[in-house]
Amino acid sequence: MSSKKIFVGILGATGAVGQRFIQLLQGHPWFEIHALGASERNIGKDYLHAVHWLQTEPIPQVVAEMVLSECSPTSGSFSECKLVFSALDAYVAGPIEEAFSKHAIPVFSNAKNFRHSPLVPLLVPQVNPDHIQTVSLQMKERGNNGFIVTNPNCSTTGLVVPLKAIDNKYGIEEAVVFTMQAVSGAGYPGVSSMDILDNVIPFIDGEEHKVEKETRKILGSVNMDGKEVFVNKKIKISAHTNRVPVLDGHTICVSLRLANKATPEAVKQTLREYTSEAQILGLPSAPVHPIKVLEAPNRPQPRLDRNEGNGFTVTVGRVRSGQDSECTDDIEASSFDIRLTLLVHNTILGAAGGSIIHAELAKAKGFI
């Protein structure tokens, strides 16, 4: 491997998201896996014999032979890493991620612990890449080059991409969101088969609050000189989250009230034309098209569409009016203007892949 690549570490490397990091970082043009961290019971084991591998591709040989270290900035090879990706569970992530950032090692986290910290960006590079600049405030506060960048919830990640495109053009006043979330979103072993087979679970603890709160921060603005750095978007959001018997891919149905009216065809064209700084900068993991619009009335579907753009593209279909054209009642069928269905790969764009693009953006902007 080229010595010019940036050494990176993975915290929580044996879990489902940690495995996805390993899969996606193979052959990366900028980053090279140099350290793997795991829980106490696996420290000192080689990766091959510690992991219950869930991916369809085999474990890369170079990773299989790596010895797992404690999740500490001074342990093993972590001290030689220029950044770490965190796939840690929230109940342990906080102090560990803080320790790395205090040791001047940037952290790109999937955990919820710091998502609403005053100086920590909640990032979706296809939506709010300008928020990355706030890491300079963290660096100034710490007096070193360490900082934390967080992913939003995996459903929020997919939701905000088309919402950003539509909001830029027409303005969004209100959104009602109904999710059908894959079992992989719960991690491994996740939801019991006895609970999810032949069933839908209409409750995911804490998820609705995350979607509503995180969307406002992501679609909001940044005031680097303000008392409050992040200024939330003023938008009404009501979320309903459900777990369904699908392995990967969160499907989300959305109804929107717009500030400026638009036809479904105009909205579809806006979505097709949308691009972001991730594409302009040519980030290695960024898809050519952040959004793909599907015309078939029965798409998107998880099994058919989740791997679009290698799992980094959000697919959108069923873009239609908020009014039912067949409704003959005197009272209008709906107060919403546009309805649509979207699909996001929850463990790629919505988790590990999103963090990798965050790190690519940070490098492109000179923060790494």
Q: What positions carry a catalytic annotation?
A: 154, 250
The answer to whether 141 and 119 are in contact (CB under 8 A) is yes
**DSSP assignment string, 190-209:** -S-HHHHTT--B---TTHHH
- Cα distance between residue 275 and residue 282, in whole Å: 11
The answer to whether 250 and 179 are in contact (CB under 8 A) is yes
- Cα distance between residue 142 and residue 173, in whole Å: 38
What are φ and ψ of residue 35, in 5° steps? -145, 145
For residue 204, how many C-alpha atoms fall within 13 Å in the half-sphere facing its CB? 28
CB atoms within 10 A of CB 168: 12
For the CA atoms of the chain, what is the radius of gyration?
A: 21
Task: Determine the residue type at 342.
Answer: L
The answer to whether 350 and 157 are in contact (CB under 8 A) is yes
CB atoms within 10 A of CB 220: 17
Residue 237, beta-bridge partner list: 175
CA angle, residues 110, 107, 307, in degrees to nearest 5: 40
